Amino acid sequence: MSSVTRAPARRDDMTAAWFDGLRAGRLLLRACPEGHRSRPDVLACDVCGSLELGWAEASGWGSTVALAVDRSTQPATHLVVVALDEGPWLITRLEGEQVARGEDVVVRYVQDGEGEAYPVVTARPADGD
């Protein structure tokens, strides 16, 4: 349990499909006709500016770019910027075994109470899971 109040993940109109995907254990990204992938809340492709955006499933693989630790929670919360293999970065927390910057992680899905499901990451298993 966290010692701080964490507001639940809540969908809005733009992210309904994203949260539906997370609930089903799939990490979706915005996808343009050129095949670029962008974060879920963009209105135009990060790479080419296209406004024609659909959704595409990401592999869930990535590596860490930056780490921070909030020790005011029990247990401490390990925050992480993850570079997804598809290009976009995910900001979330790392669960379980610690990793160093640049090491591989994999996306998992959690749900707290009545909130929406949201992505976290764990160290990438040695067998490539």
Partner 1 sequence: MAAIAGLGLTEVGKVYGRTSFELAAEAVALAAGDAGLTLADVDGLLINPAFSQPALDLTLARRLGLRDLRVLSSLTAYGASAGVMVAQAAQAVDAGAADVVACVFADTPRSGTSSGAEAYQAFSLQARGVRSAETAAGLTSTTHRYALAADRYMSTYGVTHDELGAVAVSQRRWAEMNPVAAMRTPLSLEEYHASRWVVEPLHLLDCCLVSNGGAAVIVTSAERARDLRQPPVHVRGWGQAHPAPPLRAGGSFGLTTGAKASGRAALAMAGLGLDDVQLREIYDCYTYTVLVTLEDYGFCGPGEAGALAASGALGPGGALPTNTGGGQLSSFYLWGMTPLHEAVVQVRGQAGERQVGAHDTAMVSGNGGILEHHSTLVLTSETAA
Binding of residue 106 to partner 1 (CB under 8 A): no
Q: Is 14 in the site for partner 1 (CB under 8 A)?
A: yes
Q: How far apart are the C-alpha atoms of 31 and 55, rounded to whole Å?
A: 5
Q: Which residues pair with 54 in a beta bridge?
A: 31
- What contacts 42, CB < 8 A, 6 or more positions away? 30, 53
- Closer CB to partner 1, 45 or 124, in the complex: 45
Least distance to partner 1, CB of residue 33, Å: 18
Sign of torsion over alpha carbons 68, 69, 72, 73: positive
Positions touching partner 1 (CB under 8 A) are: 2, 4-12, 14-15, 18-19, 22, 38-42, 46, 65-73, 77, 79-81, 83, 87-89, 91-93, 101, 112, 115-116, 118-120
